[in-house]
Amino acid sequence: MKMTANRAKREYTEAEIADLEARLQEAEDTLDAIRDGSVDALVTKNPQVGQQIYTLKSADYTYRVLIESMSQGALTISEEGIILYSNEQFSRMTATPLEHVIGQKIAAFVDPDDARLVAEILQQRSANVNGSERTVRLKGPHQKEVIFSARKLPSNGDNAFICLVVTDITERKRAETAKDEFIALASHQLRTPATGVKQYIGMLLEGYAGTLTESQRTFAQTAFDSNERQLAIINSILKTAQIDFGGYQLKIIKKNLADLVSESLKAFEPIVAMRNQTITCEFEPKVCALIEPMEISLVISNLIENASKYSSVGGKISIKIYKDPKHAYVAITDNGVGIHEEDQAKIFEKFTRVNNALSDTVSGSGLGLYWVKKIVELHGGEIILTSELDSGSTFIIKLRSC
Amino acid sequence: MLNKKVLIVEDESILRDAYAMVLNRHGYEVMTASDGEQAIEQIERDMPDLILLDMLMPILGGEGFLDKSDILNKHKKTKIIIYSNLSDRETVQRLIERGVHAHILKSSMAPHQLADYIKQALA
């Protein structure tokens, strides 16, 4: 059976057409608003069920949850420094109700001494979209120390906004200060008694208490050497602690490597002579590196000491300094016991000592090469090891040249 | 020739006595102080050619002595050697920048090395 729609055609009045057009326009505007993200919720009125609210769970909703659950303060501020949006965390940090935060100038929450830093962030942000950071103190009895990380938000219109993330570092700073104080005190307390021992046994050996018999001298020398080992271990532990706890800031300058190595070598002349070892030097002229001399000097001394300790009496050590267009190198080679291939990576790990022909007689803390590598890496450099068991080792320090 | 004068500022009496014994034997005129305040009294009485200065001391420490006496500005000829077991990098760098002659870890020196070092510093 054929069904035929039989709906009578209806004529619309002009007023009805205008009303329909207006409703269509409203529907299109609503859709546009939803699409551009400016609608958070829709409210509908249905004669049967009454008013209903539909929340739009858009990406914006997820961001809001994320920002409110952050442990940092998150703010949007105008270029004039007025807070347009703040999360609850910043309100807690400043102990200020949220309604008193929004609309306030950011500088109002900062210690007046640091107001200049806030101004720097605002000015810099006006011209730059890259992030920038400043450490500032907040106002208030607790003097919280925070990092302001600012980033200019991309904007099409005239009004640019700055997104500011505020990280509370008060506790971290307190821990760093406690660490520095601990290391300073530990270095003093551990070294001082050993210094007394060194001083008095040293005086005994140097004849301040009269001439010693041969066996008295041997005993005193053994005690002196043992105390020296203890001091070396204390130094290594403190160095490792300083590096591991972080905050190790280097003061980099340009330094001629030949001068630095020559200075370090002076201390080894008596030790090397006593072991009847020879050191030959081949220094390319004018090799300069970007380093903190005191630190690299410790690295070089440690490697020369190892080269001497792990070579037998009469051993040969060579030190070369050379460069390529970007790097400067110090290579320290010995013809000593060498390091087995499978141990070569391990020796740079903490508290590692490997077995070799001399490990029973040579003392060490197992920390030296660990901090040596760390210090070179802090300089943006690298330690390269080549070694063959029973033939010897070469440690190359690769540094940035200047 | 008159003997050079060295002031030892050290709170540990066993170390102070030991350094005094070593430097006496090497021909120096030795003065001693057990803290920064005593050191100020000593330099007011008689200005030494060199000061071996410990850092951590009761009453007035080494840096406090430098501040209070203003010796680095007022008596530039007197050499100050920080002779301490403190090896805090920031403190050492700050003191070198202020003009002390050197920082030496006192645990690194045997008696004859100390004597040699002072001889070189005063040469």
Q: Please determine, for residue A291, whether its predicted confidence score (pLDDT) is greater than 90.
A: yes
Residue, of A169 and A36, whose pLDDT is higher: A169
State whether A185 and A274 are in the same domain. no
Residue A127 has pLDDT above 50, yes or no: no
Compute CA distances A88 → A85, A96, A153, B50, B54, whole Å.
10, 10, 21, 61, 51
Please answer yes or no on whether A187 and B106 come within 8 Å at the CB atom: no
A248/chain B closest Cα distance in angstroms: 9
Q: Does residue A119 lie in a domain region?
A: yes
Query: Does A269 share its domain with A351?
Result: yes
Q: What is the reported pLDDT for A268?
A: 85
Q: How confident is the model at residue A6 (pLDDT cuts 50, 70, 90)?
A: low
Residue A123: pLDDT over 80: no
* Domain co-membership, A187 together with A323: no
Last residue of one domain, picked from the residues A132, A148, A168: A168
pLDDT score of A3 more than 50: no
Cβ of residue B116 closer than 8 Å to a chain A Cβ:
no
Q: Is residue A153 domain-shared with residue A264, that is, in the same domain? A: no
Within a domain: A32: no
For residue A155, the enclosing domain spans: 60-168
β-pairing, A316-323 vs A278-283, is parallel
Whether B22 and chain A come into contact, CB under 8 Å, resolves to yes
Rounded distance between C-alpha atoms, residue B22 and residue B70, angstroms: 28
CATH number of the domain encompassing residue A160: 3.30.450.20
- Res. B58 pLDDT band, cuts 50 70 90: very high
Please count the structural domains in chain A. Answer: 3
Distance between CA A289 and CA A255 in Å, rounded? 6
Q: Is residue A270 part of a domain?
A: yes
A193 located within any domain: yes
CA dist B34 and B58 (Å) reads 8
In a domain, A22, yes or no: no
- A74 lies in a domain? yes
Residue A1 — very low, low, confident or very high, per pLDDT cuts 50/70/90? very low
Q: What is the pLDDT of residues B5-17, one digit of tens each?
A: 999 999 999 999 9
pLDDT at A155 over 60: yes
- Which pLDDT score, from 0 to 100, does residue B33 have? 97
Across the interface, whether the CB atoms of B21 and A203 are under 8 A apart is answered yes
Residue A68's Cβ-count burial label (10 Å; 0-12, 13-18, 19+) is: exposed
Q: For residue A380, what is the domain's CATH number?
A: 3.30.565.10
CATH topology for B5-115?
Rossmann fold (3.40.50)
Q: Is the pLDDT of residue A369 over 60?
A: yes
Last residue of a domain, one of A244, A278, A300: A244
Domain boundary among A146, A168, A190: A168
% of residues, chain A, pLDDT over 70: 87
Q: Pick B61 or A53 by higher pLDDT.
A: B61
Kindly state whether residues A388 and A313 are assigned to the same domain.
Answer: yes
Is any Cβ of chain A less than 8 angstroms from the Cβ of B93? Answer: yes
Expressed in angstroms, the distance from the first to the final Cα of chain B is 14
DSSP element (H, E) containing A186? helix A170-205
Whether residues A270 and A390 fall in one domain: yes
pLDDT band at A57 (very low <50, low <70, confident <90, very high): low
Name the residue among A346, A387, A400, A390 with its Cα closest to residue A369.
A346
Same domain, A260 and A383: yes
Tell if the CB–CB gap between A194 and B107 is shorter than 8 Å: yes
Q: Are A231 and B106 in contact (CB under 8 A)?
A: no
> What is the predicted pLDDT for the residue at A129?
47
**pLDDT reported for residue A43:** 67
Asked if residue A276 and residue A199 are part of one domain, the reply reads no
The pLDDT tens digits for A199-228 are: 999 999 999 999 999 999 999 999 998 898
When pLDDT is averaged across residues A72-98 and rounded to a whole number, the result is: 90
CB-CB neighbors (< 8 A) of A198 in chain B: 107, 110
Quote the tokens at residue B53: 């200065």
Q: How far apart are CA B63 and CA A160, in angstroms?
A: 50
Choice between A240 and A300, residue whose per-residue pLDDT is larger = A300
| A336-355 pLDDT, tens digit each | 999 988 889 889 988 777 77
